[in-house]
Amino acid sequence: MKEKELTKGKVTTIIANLVVVEAEGPVSQNEICYVDRAGVKLMAEVIKVYGKQAFIQVFEETRGVKVGSEVEFSGGMLEVTLGPGVLSRNYDGLQHDLDKMKGVFLQSGDYTAPLDYEKEWDFKPLASEGDKVSAGDWLGEVTENTMPHRIMVPFKFTGSYKVKSVVKEGKYKVNDTVAVLLDSKEREVPVTMMQKWPVKVPITNYTEKPRPFKLLETGIRTIDTLNPMVEGGTGFIPGPFGSGKTVLQHAISKEAEADIVVIAACGERANEVVEIFVEFPELEDPRTGRKLMERTTIIANTSNMPVAAREASVYTAMTIAEYYRAMGLKVLLLADSTSRWAQALREMSNRMEELPGPDAYPMDLPAIISNFYSRAGYVYLKNGETGSITFIGTVSPAGGNLKEPVTESTKKTARCFYALSQQRADSKRYPAIDPIDSYSKYIEYPELQDYLNNNISEDWVDKVMEIKNYLIRGKEAAEQINILGDDGVPVDYHITFWKSEVIDFVVLQQDAFDEIDKSCPMNRQKYMLDKVLDIYHTDFKFESFEEVNPYFKKIINEFKQMNFSGFESDEFKRHEKELEKIVKERKVEKEEAVEEKE
Amino acid sequence: METKAFQKVYTKITQITKATCSLNAEGVGYGELASVSGRLAQVVKIEGENITLQVFGGTEGVPTNAEVVFYGRPPTIKVGEELSGRFFNAFGEPIDGGPEVEGEEREIGGPSVNPVRRKQPSELIATGIAGIDLNNTLVTGQKIPFFADPDQPYNQVMAMVALRAKADKIILAGMGLTNDDYLYYKNVFDNAGALDRIISFVNTTEGPPVERLLVPDMALAAAEYFAVDKNQSVLVLLTDMTLYADALSIVSNRMDQIPSKDSMPGSLYSDLARIYEKAVQFPDGGSITIVAVTTLSGGDITHAIPDNTGYITEGQLFLRHDTDIGKVIVDPFRSLSRLKQLVIGKKTREDHPQVMNAAVRLNADAVNARTKLENGFDLTEYDERTLGFAKEYSRELLAIDVNIDVDSMLDTGWKLFAKYFNKPEVGIREEMIEKYWPKEEE
Ligand SMILES: Nc1ncnc2c1ncn2[C@@H]1O[C@H](COP(=O)(O)OP(=O)(O)OP(=O)(O)O)[C@@H](O)[C@H]1O
Ligand SMILES: [Mg+2]
């Protein structure tokens, strides 16, 4: 394959992981190269070329690299390897298989293969002789962890081809030829089950990318009900440290209704990734009963792993997501935290002494972020099937202040904003998504409104708006009470406030660690929302404001017990009855209300 | 730090700053050690022949014709059982009058643990302090700092935690430690008869600040020896990481890097993470747990140092002087142990999570009541009860001088719930209430 002469070079400058190389031949931007450190080859990427000097970022510690160390350019950009067997794997940011590495500690230069080349897969042909095909078309399929995994015409193939032959149903390895295509000049081109793709380039073999319109259930009430995410949507979760970004993302990764989940642990804690390693092989996908790990791929570049590979890690994850989307699957991509990726860019641009933008981040940060988010989306494939990538990233703003470049750039591009509030986290009102500041632009899409009203209930969107309105009213009432004092306001203010507290405790708050409460299916969300609205619409009678708080606490308590019980179980129903009894205690019957007015 | 005969000696320094100096030399490796007029230094930049060295002892008095010798290796430490009970400076040289340690030489600041080889932390570290064990339970393999004002007794609490923690080894990494505090630790460990399981690497305020940069790496390389080679549980105390970060900024500012927030280097997050992420539960039973101190200035946790730390560590602990009871308590609102979920209700009694949450919630109601009081509003009867509860909760559970086991903490919690509240107000799951709510006695 590698016939062309590869360029060599010698190291001239080393500043941490920025290395300058005097190249002896042509080099290209983003080309991968290897620095020889006493026999160990360290992977690096060209990030700037200046005359004969190639500036490279080394994906490893550069300890021991010397002036004059040999560098070998690879002729290609950073690529991922795509094929059956990507699922259930734990990769580093450059797609090296972490499980195959030797020893307890990571050793630089220990680059392991991303796929298992010996494993045999049961291949079934989908295309037949004579079919006209082009990049991304399905030629066959294998079953990967009970899921259909389409073998496609490699994305790198340009123009159209004719299928000369496809192998018969049988067992094949990823490197075996499974089809032979004829190009426009009737030349034979073999296709295997494996292909490579440069991570920085989007895979765009779809015909159309419509506005998303389908709800993506996450099982999290404050998202699904109030600020829904959609299939192919984008969102981000900014929040100060400890406010619950990671717990929320993990909850989404476990409960969301997706075929494939790709998790990029980008510059965060290793123990959090370990949690996934431990839990996912055990936990079941609530919808299919499959183990979560079967639908998941993890890209782990934790904070102590090489900084330069952090940037690569999110692209690696995105490219894997695009690969599965091209098979017509619903992919959920999560990255924690995109701020660490931005910081990695900042460290590099700093070392290169580039003119800094705000907070010393590179000038083109907004463009980099929006280009990345724009790779997500719902698509129609050429064969009429659909696929999607829903992307949710976390953002870790310095000092918890949302007026900083990463948050602001992301806000311009992501359509859902799940702002975690320090105050809610401090009072343990989890998930700490601020119900008033947060938004989902999608709920304004008529396409989604129709979808919700058709699939949940005809007046669903109205109800959601109503609930949002009550939350704002509750907040206003609370402010008045704080200013004027408990007895300085009419009792009604207390009632308004406590009714919004019912919404908060029953709909917004959800215990991510409770077996039952952790995930709430849509039909249950609807049931509970209706119940809460019933309470809201009920008139209650109180003699003084002092009665309001204890009464609503009782109501909240019964509701919470319901949230903790299996839906429609005996226990659930018992608490529901109890709730009705409590409501009766103070409910003003309609006639009664009329009488009183007279 | 002996010089070998065949080493080339350079004597032409071209540039000197407060923390670095530059010279022309050949065949030098990135990150390798050197000595400048006998002071330890490390290569931080190579541009062709021009080498920049970070001089740990500072450059005061370094002449342009100082002798510079390169060692051809990065900083190392000699490890072995003999480290136990010993006190060293930032370079790993004994400061207790004892002999040099003989042992295997290992690079400090070595590679990271492969995440797939880590084990999930699962062993509770009991400290007897309810503000920690009940509300913010620590787990082996965790990393957690005290966010403390300089006048708070964090060193005392750290020493207490260390001694009660039942670790096989306690490694003290002192950065900018005052001599008094250094002696305090030495005394406390000595009096507890624990010296044989203590190892200290100390840079006191008397030493040059840049020297501190070596301390955590020294301590953690020693910790890895005991945790990996000997499968021991090792507790590392880092005090004070704010002074460590200050030293980082001194060096990076000398290297013309564009500072980011609060004049800290843009790489602060990665620099701190490299240290804290050494906390790990190894598959073969050994573990490294890190308890650190990050001093705050004016209680500001949005400053770049505590802020970046909070994004790295698995929670944080706050101390507070509670004027109601006149004692130092572990602040129940701002403190958080993120790994507590792994042990509470699993390694401890089933009611632990619920009791913990309910108590904190009721305490929050007390805070609201107090605000009302301060604003001159009348309190409801419920408000009065929460205040009574909060005071007793502080005295019997949060105060750092409480030393009881977790079951007693939980029993105390239930006792206080029953004394001040009715069942729905506590809002705990019914099964738990039935099982643990104290039976009425006359
Ligand atoms: N939904 C939840 N239910 C219960 N506890 C939660 C929830 N979300 C967060 N917490 C608590 O808050 C802690 C911190 O949450 P998390 O690790 O998700 O924060 P984070 O925002 O990711 O912080 P960082 O930016 O430092 O990574 C958790 O360890 C847990 O104790
Ligand atoms: Mg997090």
Q: State pLDDT tens for residues B59-115.
A: 999 999 999 999 999 999 999 999 999 999 999 999 999 999 999 999 999 999 999
Arithmetic mean of pLDDT, A4-16: 91
For residue A237, report the distance from its CA to the centre of ligand 1, in Å.
12
Q: What is the rounded average pLDDT of the residues A113-138?
A: 96
Cα–Cα distance measured from residue B176 to residue A523, given in angstroms and rounded to the nearest whole number: 59
Q: What is the pLDDT of residues A137-149, one digit of tens each?
A: 999 999 999 899 9
Question: Which tokens go with A401?
Answer: 């202040």
Strands A386-395 and A416-417, bridge-based pairing? unpaired
pLDDT at A598: 41
Q: For chain A, give the mean pLDDT.
A: 94
Out of B274, B307, B341, a domain closes at B341
Average pLDDT over residues B279-304: 94
pLDDT (average), residues A190-206:
96
| pLDDT on residue B375 | 85
With CB atoms and an 8 Å threshold, state whether B270 touches A106.
Answer: no
Q: How far apart are CA B56 and CA B207, in angstroms?
A: 10
- How many angstroms does the Cα of residue A198 sit away from the middle of ligand 2? 29
Amino acid at B50: N
Q: What's the start-to-end Cα distance of chain B, in Å?
A: 75
Which residue of B20, B23, B30, B333 to mutate against A (max A Cβ within 10 Å)?
A: B30
Residue in A107, A241, A307 nearest the CB of B111: A107
Per-domain residue ranges for chain A?
8-77, 120-193, 206-440, 460-597
> Is ligand 1 within 6 A of the CB of residue B311?
yes
Q: How many Å lie between the centroid of ligand 1 and the Cα of residue B96?
A: 43
Alpha helices (runs of H) in B126-178, residue ranges in sequence order: 130-133, 154-164
Q: Is 90 exceeded by the pLDDT of residue A592? A: no
Same structural domain for residues B404 and B275? no
Q: Is residue B110 part of a domain?
A: yes
Mutate to test the pocket of ligand 1, among A218, A243, A402 (most ligand atoms within 8 A of CB): A243
Pocket test for ligand 1, best of A218, A236, A237, A246 (most atoms within 8 A of CB): A246
Name the average pLDDT for chain B.
92
Query: What size, in residues, is chain B?
Result: 442
Q: Determine the pLDDT at residue A1.
A: 45
Across A33-67, b (16+ Cβ under 10 Å) vs e yields bbbbbeeebbbbbbbbbeeebbbbbbbbbbbbbbb
Q: Which of residues 347-376 of B touch A (CB under 8 A)?
A: 353, 357, 360-361, 364, 372, 375-376
Beta bridge partners of B375: none
State the CATH number of the domain containing residue B58. 2.40.30.20
Q: What is the CATH number of domain A460-597?
A: 1.10.1140.10
Kindly state whether residues B301 and B370 are assigned to the same domain. Answer: no
Q: Which of B26, B303, B311 sits opposite A241 (nearest CB)?
A: B311
The verdict on the CB of residue A516 being under 6 Å from ligand 1 is no
Residue A97 DSSP one-character state: B
Task: Give yes or no for residue A596 having a pLDDT over 60.
Answer: no
Binning pLDDT at 50, 70 and 90, where does residue B256 land? low
| pLDDT of B254 higher than 70 | no
Considering the domain architecture, whether residues B66 and B84 belong to the same structural domain is answered as no
Query: In CATH, what class is A206-440?
Result: alpha beta
Name the phi and psi angles at A264, rounded to 5: -105, 110
Structural domain of residue B39, as residue ranges? 9-70
Residue B442 lies in a domain: no
Q: Return the percentage of chain A with pLDDT > 70, whole number.
A: 98
Interface contact flag, A67 B26, Cβ < 8 Å:
yes
CATH of A8-77, one of 1.10.10.10, 2.40.10.170, 3.40.50.620, 3.40.50.12170: 2.40.10.170
Which residues make Cβ contacts (< 8 Å) with residue A207, sequence separation at least 6? A379, A380, A381, A382
CA distance A323 to A328: 9
Position B242 in a domain: yes
Does residue B372 share a domain with residue B303? Answer: no
- The answer to whether A131 and A162 are in contact (CB under 8 A) is yes
Same domain, B94 and B234: yes
User: Is residue B31 domain-shared with residue B65, that is, in the same domain?
Assistant: yes
The token duo for A593 is: 């209300």
Query: Does the C-beta of A243 come closer than 6 Å to ligand 1?
Result: yes
Res B19: pLDDT: 86
- Asked if B135 and B166 sit in the same domain, the reply is yes
Judge contact between A325 and A389, C-beta under 8 A: yes
H/E element holding B188?
Answer: helix B179-191
* Rounded Cα distance, B247 and B58, in Å: 11
Residue A104 has pLDDT above 90, yes or no: yes
Reported as a pLDDT band with limits 50, 70 and 90, residue B6 is low
Q: Which residue of A19, A246, A304, A509 is the best one to mutate when testing the B interface, meaning the one whose CB has the most B CBs within 10 A?
A: A304
Distance in angstroms (rounded) separating the CA atoms of residues B359 and B420: 11
Q: Are A190 and A161 in contact (CB under 8 A)?
A: no
Residue B1 pLDDT > 50 = no
Q: Chain B within 8 Å of A107 (Cβ-Cβ)?
A: yes
Residue closest to B233 by CA, chosen among B157, B138, B352: B138
Q: What is the pLDDT of residue B377?
A: 83
Report the number of distinct structural domains present in chain B: 3
Q: pLDDT by residue (tens digit) across A389-403? A: 999 999 999 988 999
pLDDT confidence tier of residue A597, bands split at 50, 70 and 90 = very low
Q: Does 2.40.50.100 match the CATH number of domain A120-193? A: yes
Residue A505 is predicted with a pLDDT of 96
pLDDT tens-digit readout, B417-430: 999 999 988 988 88
Contacts of A426 in chain B (CB under 8 A): 333-334
Q: What is the pLDDT of residue B3?
A: 47
* Cβ within 8 Å, pair B114-A271: no
Q: Give Cβ neighbours of residue A190 (< 8 Å, ≥ 6 apart).
A: A177, A179, A180, A181
User: Could you tell me the pLDDT band of residue A497, with boundaries at 50, 70 and 90?
Assistant: very high
Q: Is residue B300 part of a domain?
A: yes
Q: Using pLDDT thresholds of 50, 70 and 90, give the confidence band for residue B441.
A: low
Average pLDDT over residues B306-319: 94
